[in-house]
Chains A and B, each alone.
Chain A
Amino acid sequence: MRTAFINELFEAALRNERIFLIVGDLGFSVVEPFAREFPARFVNVGVAEQNMTGVAAGLASEGFHVFTYSIANFPTFRCAEQIRNDIAYHNLPVTVVSVGGGLAYGSLGYSHHAVQDIALLRTFPNMTIACPGDPVEARACVRYFVQNPRPSYLRLGKAGEPKVHASEVAVAPGKILRQGEDWNRPIKSHAVLSTAATLSLAQHAVKSGGFEADWDVCSLPVWNSDSGPSIREFIAKYQSILVIEDHLRAGGFGSFVQECLDPAPDLLARVRCLALDPKVCGHVASQDVLNQMGGLSLEGVIRLVASLDKIRSL
């Protein structure tokens, strides 16, 4: 996803002189072409995320659309107050980009596990959250923010994620994408709704579990506090929904969806959420192993889908 991000940003920067990239001394073998091509719109602030974010806000206040770039929790938690006060409160066009969302840096340990970032960022007024599920969605998210500069958070995976979408997609806050189909075709009885890197897991589970006849696989890559109506409209179409994410349940995407359903308790009953169990915190393993430990195994998703399928079929 990081390659998709930087390529899309590079292409956008060729056409848009407002785009500025700031890195916190991270991005080896990723950001160099941008730095070479656009030296006047690139700066490495060093290992200093608070200053990175404050400088970004200052540049943005003078007309730049700034992308701050670092990994895991460094561009978010370390400088949370700068994002809250300097960027979001002033409604400035800064996109905070984190590589390694979820447990992508599995073996690097708890410091590098970004499993509470959504909970933090989504509470700030004016923030829009983007959690692309594959490189196609990542490119679409960059295109959307370039066209709609605003306080925003772009949570990327790392590298080598499978491509889920067969062709280019267009994203917007609250716009739910339906895998393999458009919304003009008849919908199925149930759906998995994913944000971030669990999209391929959802797709794989539905396919390998033999649920394709009754289950849609959907994703919501971009969302914010105005997305409630579209989420309610989506859920009203289905008998049941499984929301899935590689983030802790507390404050995550599933929690957000449930909050959106507060005015519609009948819809709330249709929703189950699968998120990471906090017991993964502190363990060291590959991303796959940690995800399984946290409850995001293929078998686990299939079992959950099967149980929902059975309940609804009775």
Chain B
Amino acid sequence: MSTQDLARDIRIRALEMVTVAKASHIGGALSIADVVAVLYGSVLRHKPEQPEWSNRDRLILSKGHSCTSLYAALALCGYFPVPELATYASNGSRLMSHISHKVPGVEFSTGSLGHGLPFGAGKALAAKRRGLAWRTYVIVSDGELDEGSNWEAILFAGHHKLDNLTLIVDYNKIQSLGSVNEVIDLGDLVQKFSAFRWDPIRINGHDHDALSNAFLSQGKKGMPTVLVADTVKGKGVSFMENLLIWHYRNPDANQLAAAVSELTSNDARRT
């Protein structure tokens, strides 16, 4: 399966999950679908049949509310049966609506923002201290960068030269109560990360070739890598794109059908 096909299927499954569960957060799940598809489809060293394989690359989803994309990717890769996705957020399901480590393939539970990067930095430090080759990837949201714990970890990772750590900022420019610029302006993120001794790459977060090349280049020696990924909240579903309301609202059956129709007809190749 191409990463484009994987991204399309991730989006469709994520939409189905939030529709059935009447759950929030589809906008941010759609904005990371391409990043997740490229990582699982062509970048990460992993074995779905052996989730705890010691040499696997580690991926931490710090914006845990976007879990539907990751659950979908894991199921589509074979970590657990795809039909289980239908249990999302239902009574007794292990698919809680913030990412859960009780699901095969999930490294770390999040939900409260600002936890994933310090945890990922700890993993990267462990690999460094033991001379192990696997990498750690952490996905954060843009609004999440308001949390001070991230900047503690950004300072730490730069100081300790964790060049086995890659951070992806899902820069869709919308957070819970408005645009990122209006709430807390992040300013020039590339400049900020450079000042913290990271190797920043500004990138179109929906361009699979660009993402793949950036991931595989692995950045500069002695510096952690950050992909400041320009994304679109609700990407792939035209009536959801760039609208804050899809941080909260769930689609109804008709909207789901329209979204799936659009995704399958466009084949999600509008990068």
A54 close to B121 (CB less than 8 A) = yes
Which A residues from 46 to 92 make CB contacts under 8 A with B?
46, 48, 50-51, 53-64, 81-82, 85-86, 89-90
Q: Which residues of A contact B155 (CB under 8 A)?
A: 46, 48
A54 close to B127 (CB less than 8 A) = no
A51 close to B153 (CB less than 8 A) = yes
Q: Which residues of A contact B153 (CB under 8 A)?
A: 51, 54-55
* Closest B residue, CB atoms, query A64: B126
Which of the 9-residue segments B27-35, B68-76, B111-119, B224-232 touches chain A?
B111-119
* Closest B residue, CB atoms, query A53: B118
Interface of B, secondary structure class, is helix
Q: Which residues of A contact B119 (CB under 8 A)?
A: 54-55, 57-58, 61, 86
Q: Which residues of B contact A64 (CB under 8 A)?
A: 126
Bound-state CA distance A175–B213 (Å) is 58
Q: Which residues of B contact A90 (CB under 8 A)?
A: 101, 108-109
Bound-state CA distance A222–B5 (Å) is 55
A63 close to B156 (CB less than 8 A) = no
B118 close to A50 (CB less than 8 A) = yes
A82 close to B115 (CB less than 8 A) = yes
Q: How many residues of A contact B (CB 8 A)?
A: 26
Bound-state CA distance A58–B129 (Å) is 13
Q: How many residues of B contact A (CB 8 A)?
A: 29
Which of the 9-residue segments A4-12, A37-45, A211-219 touches chain B?
A37-45
| Given A51-B149, A51-B156, A62-B127, residue A57 in contact with residue B122 (CB < 8 A) | yes
Highest count of chain A CB atoms <10 Å: which of B115, B124, B127, B148: B115
Answer whether residue B236 sits at the interface, using C-beta atoms and an 8 A cutoff. no
Answer whether residue B107 sits at the interface, using C-beta atoms and an 8 A cutoff. yes
| Given A48-B156, A62-B127, A90-B101, residue A54 in contact with residue B112 (CB < 8 A) | no
Q: Tell me the B residues contacting A by CB distance below 8 Å.
A: 101, 107-112, 114-115, 117-127, 129-130, 148-149, 152-153, 155-156, 160
Q: Tell me the A residues contacting B by CB distance below 8 Å.
A: 40-41, 43, 45-46, 48, 50-51, 53-64, 81-82, 85-86, 89-90
17 A-B residue pairings within 8 Å (CB atoms): A45-B152, A46-B155, A48-B155, A50-B114, A50-B152, A51-B121, A51-B152, A58-B118, A58-B119, A59-B125, A61-B126, A62-B122, A64-B126, A81-B112, A81-B115, A86-B118, A90-B109
